[in-house]
A and B are shown apart, each in its own frame.
Chain A
């Protein structure tokens, strides 16, 4: 069974940093691209970042470029999103998602709240 389990969300002050992680299982992780998608409270979906299976290719939305870094550890089947210089508008549920292109399996998400 394909599963993604996110962790690391919480409350952080504007300008602060936070790292969210995703533990994946049930598929061949090292050959599968992974993505992060976020959803602000009561709003729609926003693609944030993706990383190729080998980790050599990374992509970012303009809204987070230069502040967020996606990485993966294929020995542990994990993918992380390091978020720096956080802003109030980064407040959202962050979903770990299998694949880029169409997104076929989603975790339950972890809530990141940026507030003083």
Chain B
């Protein structure tokens, strides 16, 4: 089973700043098979990025994903107040099982 480790656990930034979130896999995965989700309190997760770098429908272009092999990054270029949330990465292959990272909480400084 592939284990995903996200860092940092908590990231404290101010609106307008740039956020960089990391996701590291225990073994190499195809960049085709890495997704990022955003979850706000009391809400279901929302797909942000799939295929490591493709934005989902309706996702603003301040969100971008990159990486390959075992190291992947979600970047938010300029934080808006609504971006403070928990972010999860997920690996998926051609079929299950799938795994999620433990999450990074992005909080307002």
Contact = CB atoms under 8 A, between A and B. Distances in A.
Given A45-B88, A45-B90, 17 more contacts: A35-B96, A37-B45, A44-B100, A44-B103, A45-B45, A45-B100, A47-B100, A50-B96, A61-B97, A95-B45, A101-B93, A101-B98, A102-B50, A102-B92, A103-B47, A104-B50, A104-B56
Interface residues of B, number: 27
Give the interface SS of chain B, mostly helix, strand, loop or mixed.
loop
Nearest to B47: A104
A108 B45 CA distance: 9
Nearest to B54: A102
Interface of A: 35, 37, 44-47, 49-50, 57, 59, 61-62, 95, 100-109
A106 B45 contact: yes
B33 A101 contact: yes
Interface string B56-79: 110000000000000000000000
A46 B100 contact: yes
A109 B103 CA distance: 19
